[in-house]
Amino acid sequence: MMITQELELKENISQDVIFPPSDLYSDEPTVETELHLEQIMLLIKCLKWLWKDRYDFYVAGNLTIYYSPNQKKSEYFRGPDFFVVLGTERKTRKSWVVWNEEGKYPNFILEILSPSTANTDKEYKKELYQNTFRTPDYFWFDPYTLEFAGFHLLDGKYQPLEANEKGHLWSEQLDLYLGIDEGLLRYFTPEGKLVFTPEETAERLAAKLRELNIDPDEI
């Protein structure tokens, strides 16, 4: 998938194209609501915590993806609300510049729906992620209506994912389930266990210590 993307990037760009600087800043508007922000930060925090020993991925939210050298002049595109790129260096970036990242596009994208963006996310962006980005996994979620859907790229076309008995959808790229828990979209392990945040992990540890008559505040 990544090799194909890189070759197509090179083939589709004329040799005489002058590329913009590769250290472009993200140019995204603020997120729609506080709940949108909470959801994005939750997904980023949990994945970084789960993959804390990995250095071969990049995860970001509300960050511009520059995929065309003409984009700043002639193409309007709001970056994904949340995306993950695999097989890349884990480091901070000002934006994701495809031509400076070996032609890599996101492996996983999630859009947080809102009344003003839902149609774009379900139509224009879905087509863009399918035909241009070739992103293997595309999901969307509405934190207010709890509408949740996912798609996997198969033979160049997005096919809808079927939920398991718990209503969770499998992401082949993340090797995780995604599902709704207490109104928020969360990760679940292949065994169906909730992936905790660092804070939740600490709280569970503290509770366990108290069961053993150990005061966690004195450790």
CA dihedral 205, 207, 208, 212 (to 10 degrees): 130
- Beta-sheet strands, E only, within the chain: 57-61, 65-66, 82-86, 96-97, 108-112, 137-141, 148-154, 157-160, 169-171, 176-181, 184-188
As given in the structure block, the two tokens for residue 30 are 């603020």
Q: Which residues contact 79 (CB under 8 A, 6 or more apart)?
A: 26, 28, 62, 63, 64, 65, 95, 96
Rg (C-alpha) for the chain, rounded Å, is 19
Asked whether residue 7 is assigned to any structural domain, the reply reads yes
For helices 34-50 and 198-211, the axis angle rounded to 10 degrees is: 70
CATH number at residue 126: 3.90.1570.20
Domain membership flag for residue 131? yes
Q: Quick check: is 68 in a domain? A: yes
**Chain mean pLDDT for the chain:** 86
Query: Would residue 159 count as lying in a domain?
Result: yes
Does position 28 have pLDDT exceeding 60, yes or no? no
Residue 205 lies in a domain: no
Looking at the chain, the number of H-run helices and the number of E-run strands are 6, 11
Q: Taking residues 8-31, what's their average pLDDT?
A: 51
Q: What is the mean pLDDT of residues 46-51?
A: 98
Cα separation, 116 vs 162, in Å, equals 27
pTM, full prediction: 0.83
64, part of any domain:
yes
| Non-local CB neighbours of 19 within 8 Å, separated by 6+ positions | 69, 99
Please indicate, yes or no, if residue 206 is contained in any of the structural domains: no
Residue 100 resides in a domain: yes
The boundaries of the domain holding residue 138 are 2-194
Share of the chain above pLDDT 70, in %: 79
Residue 44: in which H helix or E strand, if any? helix 34-50
**Average of pLDDT values for 30-54?**
92
Domain count, the chain: 1
- Structure confidence at residue 131 (pLDDT): 97
Q: What is the pLDDT of residue 200?
A: 92
- Return d(Cα 115, Cα 97) in angstroms, integer: 29
162-181 pLDDT, tens per residue? 999 999 999 999 999 999 99
Distances (CA, A) of 27 to 71, 149, 174: 12, 27, 27
State pLDDT tens for residues 119-175.
Answer: 999 999 999 999 999 999 999 999 999 999 999 999 999 999 999 999 999 999 999
pLDDT at 68: 81
Q: What is the pLDDT of residue 210?
A: 77
